[in-house]
Amino acid sequence: MNYQDSSRILIKVGSALIAPSGTGCSAQYTLPIARFIQQCFEDGKQVILVSSGSVAAGRQHISCKTSKPSVAQKQAMAAIGQNTMMANWMRFFDKPCAQILMTHAELRDREGYINIKNTINELISNGILPIVNENDSVATEELKVGDNDRLAAMVAILSDSDLFLICSDVDGLYTSDPNLNKNAQQIPQVEEIDSKIIALAGDTTNPLATGGMRTKIEAAVKATSNGIATILFEGSLPQNFENFVKGSSIGTLFKPQQKSLSEKKHWVKHTLNSKGIINIDKGAVEALIHKGASLLSVGICSVSGKFERGDAVDIHCQQTGKIIAKGLCQYSQSTIEQIKGHRSEHFEKIIGYIESDVIVKRDDLVLLDLK
C-alpha cells in the first residue's frame, strides 16, 4: 500500500528520534515528522501517533549513576517526561492533541479494549490527533505491554488503521546487521514474514529503548496478519517523508496478509499474554485442527501454569510438545486439574457445578501456525 491508498495511518516514533542526545526532547527529527502529519491532515487522511520518549525526556531530572536505570528510576523519568514529550508534539500543531496512556491491563480486558477503540474513533471524528504511549510511570512488568513497537501494532489493529509506519533510527530490514557487515543489503519488500525473516532481527543497543529490530518484526507480524501494510524506515531523514508522499518506496515494506481472523480472535492471538499451558492428546488435536471443535476436558492430559477462568492459555500437543492453539479458558488451572480426562457430564459430581461443557469454546480459540 502506498500513501495515496491509505485513509488511516498509524505512525510510531521511537525514542532515538524524540531524544537523539539521550535526554530531553528535540525538534531535530520530530519537526519533519510533524510536517508529514500535517500533510496527511491536509490530504484528508486520519492519523494516530504512538510516541516513545517519556523516559528519555525525563532522564535529566532523575539521578542515575549507570547507563541502565532501575525500574523505579525509569518510572520516575516517565512521570516527569510524559508532559515534556506531549508538549514537544503539541507545539507543532494548530489543532488539539489528546494524550492516551495505557497498560496491558486495559488491552487484555475486552471491555477496556473496546473503550480504547471507541475513544480513538471519537477523537479522530472530532479532528483531534490521538497521541498514545504506554503508561510507564505506573506499569509493572506484569502490566507492561513490553515496548512501543508492540503497543503501536496493537493500536493499529484496534483502530482499524490501514497503514502502519514505524519511524526508526534504521532505514529498514537488512540481510544481516549493517553495523557488523558492510556488505549487508537492504530488503525493500517482504512478501511474508517467515522464520528466515525473523532470524534476521537483532536486539537493541540503546539503554533507554525497550525494543530492537526483533520487536519491530514482531510488530509487523501482528499488523500484517490483520491486513495492515507496514513500513519500517529511517525517520531521521526528512526526504523519506517527502518521497513517500510522492509515491516513492522507502525503507522496507511488509506486505499485508489476507485478514483471516475475527477482531476478537485477533485480540486473543496478538494482545493477550498466555498464563498457562494445556497439553492435549492426539484425538483432541485432530478435533481442533480438522473438525472445528471446541476443546473438551476428556482430551486434556496435563496442565501447567497458574491461571483463572477467562485467562488466555496455550494449547500444546502432549505427544510432540508443539503449540497448536491459543484460547480463553472457561475454568481455572486448579479446576482443570480435577476434571481433566473426564466428560462434562461428570463435572458436577467431581467439582460440584458445571460452568461450561467445554474448556475452551471454539469462538474463543485461535489455531496457530502449524508449519
pLDDT in tens, 283-303: 999 999 999 999 999 999 999
Residue 204 confidence class, pLDDT cut points 50, 70, 90: very low
Please write the tens of the pLDDT for every residue from 151-201: 999 999 999 999 999 999 888 999 888 888 888 899 999 999 988 888 887
Taking phi over 0 as left and psi of -120 to 50 as alpha, with beta for the rest, 294 belongs to beta
Residue range 68-120, pLDDT digits in tens: 788 888 889 889 989 999 999 999 999 999 999 988 788 888 888 889 999 99
Could you give the 3-state DSSP secondary structure of residue 259? coil
Place of cell 502490566: 143
- In the chain, % of residues over pLDDT 90: 62
Separation between Cα atoms, residue 68 and residue 144, nearest integer Å: 18
Spatial contact of 359 and 278, defined as CB atoms under 8 Å apart:
yes
347 and 339 Cβ atoms separated by less than 8 Å: yes
Alpha-carbon gap, residue 277 to 366, rounded angstroms: 14
Among residues 337, 345, 341, 288, which one has the least CA distance to residue 317? 288
Q: State in Å, rounded, how far the first CA of the chain is from the last one.
A: 27
* Angle at alpha carbon of residue 358, lines to 356 and 364, rounded to 5°: 100
Give CA–CA dist 1/336, Å, rounded: 46
Contacts of 145 (CB under 8 A, 6+ apart): 102, 103, 104, 107, 134, 139, 151, 154
Share the mean pLDDT of the chain: 89
**3-265, CATH topology level:** Carbamate kinase (3.40.1160)
CATH architecture of 274-367: Roll (2.30)
> Which residue in 312, 309, 277, 283 sits closest to 296, CA to CA?
283
The three-state secondary structure class of 144 is coil
Q: Where are the domains of the chain?
A: 3-265, 274-367
Q: Output 325 or 4, whichever has higher pLDDT.
A: 325
Do 289 and 370 contact (CB within 8 A), yes or no? yes
What does residue 119 show for φ and ψ, rounded to 5 degrees? -65, -45
Q: Position 64: which residue type?
A: C
CA atoms within 13 A on the CB side of 245: 17
Q: Rg of the chain over CA atoms, in angstroms? A: 22
∠ CA(92), CA(98), CA(101), 5° rounding? 120
- The Cα 19–Cα 357 span in angstroms is 54
More confident residue, 363 or 137: 363
d(CA 245, CA 251): 14
Distance between CA atoms of 57 and 77, rounded to whole angstroms? Answer: 7
* Joined grid coordinates for residue 326: 491459543
Burial classification of residue 82, based on how many CB atoms lie within 10 Å of its CB (0-12 exposed, 13-18 middle, 19 or more buried): buried
